Amino acid sequence: MTVDDDKRLLRKEARVRRLQLARVAGEDAGRRAADDFLAAITLEPEAVVSGYWPVGDEFDVRPTLERLHAAGHACCLPVVVGKTKPLVFRRWEPGDTLVPAALGIPVPLPEADELVPAVLLVPMLAFDDAGYRLGYGGGFYDMTLDALRASDPAPVAVGAAFAGQRVAQVPHDDNDQRLDWILTEDGARRLGAG
Question: 36-76, pLDDT tens digit by residue?
Answer: 999 999 999 999 999 999 999 999 999 999 999 999 999 99
Give percent of the chain with pLDDT exceeding 90. 90
A 10 A CB-CB count for 125 gives 23
Contacts of 87 (CB under 8 A, 6+ apart): 78, 79, 80, 81, 140, 141, 143, 144
Q: Give the residue numbers spanning the domain of 93.
A: 3-190
State the total domains in the chain.
Answer: 1
Question: 117-171, pLDDT tens digit by residue?
Answer: 999 999 999 999 999 999 999 999 999 999 999 988 889 999 999 999 999 999 9
Average of per-residue pLDDT across 80-102: 94
What's the whole-number average pLDDT of the chain?
94
CA 100 – CA 112 distance, rounded (Å): 15
Q: Closest by alpha carbon to 59, among 101, 88, 26, 89?
A: 26
Please say if the pLDDT value at position 21 is more than 80.
yes
Give pTM, 2 decimals: 0.95
Rounded (5°) CA angle 76-82-154: 45
Question: 166-193, pLDDT tens digit by residue?
Answer: 999 999 999 999 999 999 999 999 997 5
Question: 96-127, pLDDT tens digit by residue?
Answer: 999 999 778 999 999 999 999 999 999 999 99
Give the 3-state secondary structure of residue 91: strand
Cis omega before residue 153 (within 30°)? yes
Question: Rounded to the nearest 5°, which phi and psi values hold at 123?
Answer: -80, 165
Question: Rounded to the nearest 5°, which phi and psi values hold at 152?
Answer: -130, 120
Q: Say what the pLDDT of residue 108 is.
A: 97
Q: What is the CATH number of the domain that holds 59?
A: 3.40.50.10420
Give the 3-state secondary structure of residue 184: strand
Band (194; pLDDT cuts 50, 70, 90): very low
Contact 106, 100 (CB under 8 A): yes
Contacts of 26 (CB under 8 A, 6+ apart): none
Q: Say what the pLDDT of residue 115 is.
A: 97
Q: Say what the pLDDT of residue 193 is.
A: 53
Contact 136, 130 (CB under 8 A): no
Give percent of the chain with pLDDT exceeding 70. 99
